[in-house]
Structure 1
Amino acid sequence: MSDSLRAIPVPPSVPLPAGSPVAIVGLGRTGIGVARLLHSQGHPVTLLESRDGSEQRVAAASLQAEGIAVRLGVPLTLDALPEPRPAAVVVSPGIRWDHPELERMRAAGIVVLGEMTVAARATGAIPWVGITGTNGKTTVTHLVHHLLSQGGLQAPLCGNVGISAAEVAQQSLRGEGAIPDWLVVELSSYQIEQSPELAPAIGVWTTLTPDHLERHGTLDHYRAIKRRLLENAAVRILNGDDPDLRSRAGSWDAAEWITARPQAELPPVLRPRLWIEQGQVQGPEGPLFAADALAMPGDHNLQNMLMATAVALQAGLQPAVIEAALRGFPGVPHRLERIRERGGIAWFNDSKATNYDAAEVALKALHGPLVVLAGGEAKQGDASGWLEQLRRQASAVVLYGAAQEAFAALLREGGYGGPLERCQGLDEGVPLAASLASACGARGVLLSPACASFDQYRDFEARGDHFRQLVLALPAED
């Protein structure tokens, strides 16, 4: 574990005293879920939010009607906390874990917690599948949820995708529906950093490439945060086809590796649990099922399929049940989601591609030539692989949002020679892409932003939903 990770504050593992007051910072999905969970457990709760707009007022009114105190327009400071001082403060993942005001709170004897710590304590003996990674975690999370559910298990999907883990915990405590057999939890680096105690029954690590470095500082620190989740897990499932993970295979005392290649292509230190050979998913006991069971394009989705299969096998599902469920998997919204075909041109929503590496994977997975829409709020990272795929696959590129000027310079400097158009947003970008696709003879149009969405949207889902609406509204072509 890196020295920088050792320096990150770790909250005490003792439970909150019964009936102790708690402050929650952030009126988003996480904050609302935690507020309701702790309120149902008998804690006096005050939720603090720095914004004071119409959306926040509607959410506050709903919570206040349930007996939860909400204060809007309140900055994140020690002095803004309600009196008497709370025993604990729970913060949203968007707040830096080393924020100076959080440090002041810790120094004042206040326990600072992340949502996942609160949710994990509340779910008790229900085992978690904790899934993390720079890219691929959303697809694997949906796949695991689908496989376990089709296998007859109660396995709600939550965390960084779907509903909050705290909300699932509250539903279980209220006795709403059957008690889950598993919780399938997607975990971002922010959530893991804020909940270092998390110890899932099964941990899955999909990929590791530079991301969120504006928050975590260095790749080593970012890697160490994700690694901690897997080190805490009883069963560790790792992607042996990811270069960064594979290069550190010898550092694990125990792990279950997967590869979408033949077993013999892996280094001796890495003995896979699942691999693909002769068109079959293979395990130590022999062939399990055909490797084409999952109808999603790209080698990366073979890796995703194998990681989800490894989880399902650990949960007790038989290979025949897994294969049948894979063949019925409907896909993941916003991840290479095929929206429609118009005039012989396919339209794909890949709004989940919020960094260069994810956008590169999407370009590799589809058959070109493509018209690509990219833009939003740019992140740090190595764009070389993405630029290479744009040169190979993109007959034209449409740039929009805050990153359009920087991206235009990046593409020109990177040797992209195709048509390059700029516009303010997707309202202009979609019809422009349609016109370019017809003129360039493209086979598809791909929204794969390589950016965060926060310049124009609340999250990548809202961006993808808007794109889908605009594409479906395009008039039909003969």
Structure 2
Amino acid sequence: MKKAVVFGAGVSGKGSEKTLKRMEYEVFLVDDKIGLSSKDGMEILLNDKIDLFIKSPGVPYTELVKKALELGIEVIDDIELGYRYKKINRISGKIIAITGTNGKTTITTKTQELLEKAGYKAKVCGNIGYSFSETVMENPELDYYVLEASSYQLENVKEFKADISLVVNLAPDHLTRYRDLDHYYNIKFNIGKNQKENEYFIVNTSCTESLKRESMISGKKIFIGMNKTDKNECVWVENGSIFYVDEFILEEKLASLKGKHNLENMLFIVCIGKLIGIPTELIREFLYSTKTLEHRMENFFSYGQVEFINDSKGTNIDSTRFAIEAFEQPILICGGYDKELDLTPLEKIILERVKEVYLIGDISDKLEIGLKKIGFSEERIFNLKTLDKVLEKLKSRIDKNYKETILFSPATSSFDQFKNFEERGKVFKNLVKSYFN
């Protein structure tokens, strides 16, 4: 019997474990909290003949991973395992693979909803929902697997390829994991690593860093962008409308997904829909009526004329910049885990477009110092460290008879105070309702 080590017992790791057992592997699940310890894992690597090592995406390259590589054991991730399972079992469903710094969850979720509306069987998987390998194993009848892939999940791609791949955009992030920005951006392009000319790679011409990596694309390039350029985009924006080739698709102002970032997301959704052959009328109707995602520019509560927006999914600077630009002088709540990024772009957009700022988390002191340095007045900065203290302060300052937008968009990840952005968003929503109901 073949043997495999799965390192990390999160959603991805548990999915890999199930898939490997179905493939008749003996599986050792290593996780220092709920599985075998790393020390036990090291003993297994040294004393058993291990055929495969599955590294969960959130797991860093510890001594255990390095030892597996040193011993010549193949190290892969769950999406590579899922692709191999699909290939071995001749599962015919097509893969739509989506990555990027911002917008990938919206595009993934809305693509799956559009496919279902058009009558296809489809599920989201990967970075959201279930692991890719488990989804393929449990749902061999699907027409489409809509896979959201983080850079972490793309680090160990060997054979994996998709029928349609795309990189939404590239912006600074995850510098605690990667050598530099080029390293991070190049990893993202592994999503199209093995494509052939009969498989599509959608290229965003509005993203300079994506265009720089055009030579890394082996599939058939389909260009989209916010403007028509010499790349002859097949989907673009003109006079407030989205077009595909020579066909009008929809008016931006009538779409239910608002903001510049969502306009970019819709270009991808339209392109995917048209490549698959979904009728224009159905795409238009869908994008005019679909609802925003929880934790992504979610207008969830009104207190008189005061609107509360939950954008906990805003986990990097570019994402929060897009959120700020969607409103007129919002009151911003931001901060969280220190990713060791340059905060200057965030400080500048706050100076230009934010009325007041309430700071939380590890980067709150750093942000306060940076904002004061560039001239953001001290009386408009409230460094309160936690969401509870922020909402308590806002309750004493907000008048519901005056129109205000309270925007919670952290601009970084949540790991200093929360398990993930979902938990952070739920805590925020509950606190708002508790203080303002």
Q: Does 1:93 align with 2:75?
A: no
1:393 positional shift = 2.6
Q: Does 1:218 align with 2:200?
A: no
* Separation in structure 1 between the aligned mates of residue 295 and residue 39 of structure 2, nearest angstrom: 34
SS of the residue 1:445 aligns to: strand
1:247 positional shift = 5.2
Q: Does 1:128 align with 2:89?
A: no
1:48 aligned partner: 30
1:143 positional shift = 1.7
2:236 aligned partner: 275
Distance 1:76 1:313, change over 3 A: farther
1:414 aligned partner: 374
Confirm or deny: 8 A CA contact 1:358 1:450 kept in the other structure.
Answer: yes
* Separation in structure 2 between the aligned mates of residue 211 and residue 142 of structure 1, nearest angstrom: 22
Confirm or deny: 8 A CA contact 2:303 2:400 kept in the other structure.
Answer: no
Pick one of 106, 114, 134 that aligns with 2:69: 106
* Separation in structure 2 between the aligned mates of residue 196 and residue 438 of structure 1, nearest angstrom: 57
* Separation in structure 2 between the aligned mates of residue 24 and residue 291 of structure 1, nearest angstrom: 46
Confirm or deny: 8 A CA contact 2:55 2:65 kept in the other structure.
Answer: no
* Separation in structure 2 between the aligned mates of residue 278 and residue 357 of structure 1, nearest angstrom: 25
1:320-351 per-position Cα deviation (integer Å, ceiling 9, x unaligned):
11111112211111111111111211111111
1:30-51 per-position Cα deviation (integer Å, ceiling 9, x unaligned):
1111111212222211211112
Deviates more, 1:430-439 or 1:193-202: 430-439
TM-score by length of 1: 0.84
1:424 positional shift = 3.3
* Separation in structure 2 between the aligned mates of residue 279 and residue 447 of structure 1, nearest angstrom: 28
* Separation in structure 1 between the aligned mates of residue 352 and residue 401 of structure 2, nearest angstrom: 14
1:224 positional shift = 1.3
Deviates more, 1:414-423 or 1:26-35: 414-423
1:63 aligned partner: none
Q: Does 1:259 align with 2:225?
A: yes
1:322 aligned partner: 283
SS of the residue 2:290 aligns to: coil
Give unpaired runs (5+ residues) of structure 1.
1-18, 57-69, 174-178
1:442 positional shift = 5.9
Paired residues in the alignment total: 428
Task: Please list, as runs of the form range in 1=range in 2, the aligned pairs for 1:7-86 lying within 5 A after superposition.
Answer: 19-51=1-33, 56=34, 70-71=35-36, 73-75=37-39, 78-79=42-43, 81=45, 84-86=48-50
Pick one of 198, 203, 212 that aligns with 2:165: 203
* Separation in structure 2 between the aligned mates of residue 280 and residue 451 of structure 1, nearest angstrom: 32
Q: Does 1:243 align with 2:195?
A: no
Q: Does 1:458 align with 2:419?
A: yes
* Separation in structure 2 between the aligned mates of residue 373 and residue 186 of structure 1, nearest angstrom: 27
* Equivalent position amino acid for 2:69 in 1: R
Pick one of 141, 146, 150 that aligns with 1:188: 150
* Equivalent position amino acid for 2:84 in 1: R
Deviates more, 1:416-425 or 1:446-455: 416-425
Distance 1:236 1:437, change over 3 A: farther
Pick one of 95, 114, 117 that aligns with 1:150: 117
Deviates more, 1:227-236 or 1:131-140: 227-236
TM-score by length of 2: 0.91
* Separation in structure 2 between the aligned mates of residue 141 and residue 223 of structure 1, nearest angstrom: 20
1:404 aligned partner: 364
* Equivalent position amino acid for 1:419 in 2: R
* Equivalent position amino acid for 1:47 in 2: L
Confirm or deny: 8 A CA contact 1:373 1:433 kept in the other structure.
Answer: no
Q: Does 1:119 align with 2:85?
A: no
* Separation in structure 2 between the aligned mates of residue 432 and residue 337 of structure 1, nearest angstrom: 22
* Separation in structure 1 between the aligned mates of residue 343 and residue 401 of structure 2, nearest angstrom: 25
* Separation in structure 2 between the aligned mates of residue 34 and residue 250 of structure 1, nearest angstrom: 32
1:359 aligned partner: 320
Q: Does 1:311 align with 2:272?
A: yes
2:329 aligned partner: 369
Confirm or deny: 8 A CA contact 2:330 2:405 kept in the other structure.
Answer: yes
* Equivalent position amino acid for 2:182 in 1: D
Pick one of 372, 394, 402 that aligns with 2:354: 394
* Separation in structure 1 between the aligned mates of residue 178 and residue 41 of structure 2, nearest angstrom: 22
* Equivalent position amino acid for 1:425 in 2: T
* Separation in structure 2 between the aligned mates of residue 74 and residue 150 of structure 1, nearest angstrom: 46
* Separation in structure 1 between the aligned mates of residue 242 and residue 431 of structure 2, nearest angstrom: 39
1:292-318 per-position Cα deviation (integer Å, ceiling 9, x unaligned):
452122122111001011111111211
* Equivalent position amino acid for 1:154 in 2: K
Distance 1:162 1:211, change over 3 A: same
Distance 1:42 1:293, change over 3 A: farther
1:6-32 per-position Cα deviation (integer Å, ceiling 9, x unaligned):
xxxxxxxxxxxxx41111111111111
SS of the residue 2:319 aligns to: helix
1:75 positional shift = 4.3
Same amino acid, percent of matched pairs: 27
Give unpaired runs (5+ residues) of structure 2.
none
Confirm or deny: 8 A CA contact 1:274 1:310 kept in the other structure.
Answer: yes
1:243 positional shift = 3.1
SS of the residue 2:436 aligns to: coil
Deviates more, 1:306-315 or 1:414-423: 414-423
Q: Does 1:342 align with 2:309?
A: no
Task: Please list, as runs of the form range in 1=range in 2, the aligned pairs for 1:435-454 lying within 5 A after superposition.
Answer: 435-438=396-399, 443-454=404-415
* Equivalent position amino acid for 1:106 in 2: L
